[in-house]
Amino acid sequence: MRNPIRSCFCFLAFACISSLVAFAEASSVSSAPSAFAAYPPGVSGDYVVYRDYSWKEPTWVGFLRYDDSTWGAFVKTPSVSSDVRVLFRAELSDGELVLTGQKIVSNISQADVLAVNYLMGTLPDLVSWRNIAAREGSILPSSADVPGSARLASGAGRSDLLPPCVSLARDRAEFGGAVSLLFAPEVPVFNLASMRNASGGQMLELVRAGRVRSGGDEAFFGFSPQGSAKEGSPLSVPANRKVEKRTVDGVELALDGQWTMVADNTFFLGNSAVVIVDTLDLGLMQIPRDGLALSLLRLFSLSSESSWVSPSSFALSGKASRFRIESTAYDVESGTQNRDIKLCVPSVDGKRCAVVSLTVNETAYRANKAYFDALF
Residues 124, 268 within the same domain: no
Residue 236: inside a domain, yes or no? Answer: no
Residues 207, 355 within the same domain: no
DSSP 311: G
Residue 227: inside a domain, yes or no? Answer: no
User: Bigger pLDDT: 276 or 177?
Assistant: 276
Q: For 327-366, what is each residue's pLDDT tens digit? A: 999 998 889 999 999 999 999 999 999 999 999 999 999 9
CB count within 10 Å of CB 140 equals 19
Residue 325: inside a domain, yes or no? Answer: yes
pLDDT, residue 155, reads 74
Count of residues in the chain: 376
Residues 214, 273 within the same domain: no
pLDDT, residue 196, reads 94
Tell me the C-alpha distance between 319 and 160, whole Å.
8
Residue 27 one-letter amino acid: S
Tally of domains within the chain = 2
What is this structure's pTM? 0.88
Task: Specify the 3-state DSSP secondary structure of 78.
Answer: helix
CATH of the domain at 330: 3.40.1000
Instruction: Write the Ramachandran bin of 21: left for phi over 0, alpha for psi from -120 to 50, otherwise beta.
Output: alpha
Q: Dihedral, CA atoms, 357, 361, 366, 369, nearest 10 degrees?
A: -30
Range of the domain at 268: 243-373
